[in-house]
Amino acid sequence: MKGLMEYDWQVLISRKNWLVLIGGLAICYIGMGTACGFFPMFLMIILAKIAITKIEEPIGKFLFTLPFTCKSCAYELYAYPLIGGMLIGIMIFAATSIYAPADWPTHLIETISSIGTGLVMISVMIPVFVMFGTQSVGIFFGVVLAAVLGGGIMMFGDMDLAQIMQFFSNPWIGWALAALLIVILAISWTVTLKALNNKTF
């Protein structure tokens, strides 16, 4: 898995357009003061897309002739974006907390929520892309965007920011969401592994 992550890291560095996109998103979210709440999530989506791309590129034909198993590849598809999102989330949280120490509880909840949302999105994105290819990106983002917006409006449409923050600060809500994330991740990983085992190159 380490070798696969190193490969994806080299791919990210070599893709100048991805670096420009990531830098542009970072500047926009920092400028709007929403870096904690959105940037880790979008970075996880970008990193997941990079990780999946190697399966469809020419290297995919030879990937499993190397000392990699489908299981290690499936682990890496999730670990790479998750580790990247967590690292950037911690850095942004630390920076914003130093800049505005009085608001650190809000920044913490925003960061955790962003990483959690990103985890849900890549849990849908990865098996869909592995099974149907990256050409399904438009369908994926359309469905996810509609689900996120629709669910958010239904749950929090009548709440102000303070009420939303109070809702997520409830420890029982936090534990319930964490358990739900684990279930979603486990199902997604199982589907991805099965798709990789059945995939022909």
CA distances to 28, 52, 53 from 46, in Å: 16, 10, 11
Please, are residues 124 and 144 in contact by the beta-carbon 8 Å criterion? yes
pLDDT, residue 149, reads 53
- Out of 79-88, 90-99, 125-134, the most confident range is 79-88
pLDDT digits (tens, 9 = 90+) for 119-135: 888 888 888 888 877 66
Q: How many residues are given for the chain?
A: 201
pLDDT, residue 188, reads 92
Q: What is the DSSP string of 125-149?
A: HHHHHHHH-GGGHHHHHHHHHHHHH
Q: Alpha helix (H) ranges present in 35-159?
A: 35-56, 60-63, 70-99, 104-132, 137-156
Which residues constitute the domain of residue 13? Answer: 2-198
pLDDT, residue 35, reads 65
pLDDT digits (tens, 9 = 90+) for 171-200: 677 778 888 889 989 999 999 999 888 875
Question: Comparing 43 with 136, which gets the higher pLDDT?
Answer: 43
Name the pLDDT band for 157 (thresholds 50, 70, 90): very low
Of 14, 3, 25, 193, the residue nearest 118 (C-alpha): 25
CA distances to 143, 152, 193 from 159, in Å: 24, 11, 40
Of 87-101, 143-157, 184-198, the least confident = 143-157
Write the CB contacts of 57 (distance below 8 Å, at least 6 apart in sequence): none
Say how many domains are in the chain: 1
- What is the model's pTM? 0.74
- Distance of alpha carbon 164 from alpha carbon 8, whole angstroms: 36
Question: Comparing 201 with 129, which gets the higher pLDDT?
Answer: 129
Question: Comparing 7 with 111, which gets the higher pLDDT?
Answer: 111
Please, are residues 121 and 50 in contact by the beta-carbon 8 Å criterion? no
Kind plus residue range of the DSSP H or E element containing 185: helix 171-198
DSSP state of 27: H
